[in-house]
């Protein structure tokens, strides 16, 4: 997969998007100290997504999961 990468103001996170269709595929932190990344689940095979464990983060900004 070929992606273009961009970061808002060159800080914190690199966003990757498909060079062909422009869809955001994933994001990755620039700092190795950060231990999270994100993927666009809408691009996953529905069967793979159905088998995934979903953990919901609280909306209070504590970083805790329900």
Question: Residue 33 gets which letter from DSSP?
Answer: T
Chain center to CA of 6: 13
pLDDT in tens, the chain (66 residues): 689 999 888 788 999 999 999 999 999 999 888 888 899 999 999 999 899 888 888 877 787 777
Q: What is the pLDDT of residue 32?
A: 85
Chain center to CA of 37: 5
CA atoms within a 13 Å half-sphere pointing along the CA-CB vector of 20: 2
What is the β-pairing status of strands 13-18 and 38-39?
unpaired
> The pTM is what?
0.69
Token pair 């060159």 is at which residue?
10
């Amino acid at each position: 997969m070929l992606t273009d990468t961009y970061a808002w103001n060159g800080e914190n996170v690199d966003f990757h998007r498909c060079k062909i269709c422009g869809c955001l595929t994933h994001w990755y932190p620039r700092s190795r100290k950060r231990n999270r990344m994100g993927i666009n689940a809408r691009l996953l095979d529905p069967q793979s997504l159905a088998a995934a464990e979903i953990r919901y983060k609280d909306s209070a900004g504590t970083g805790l999961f329900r």
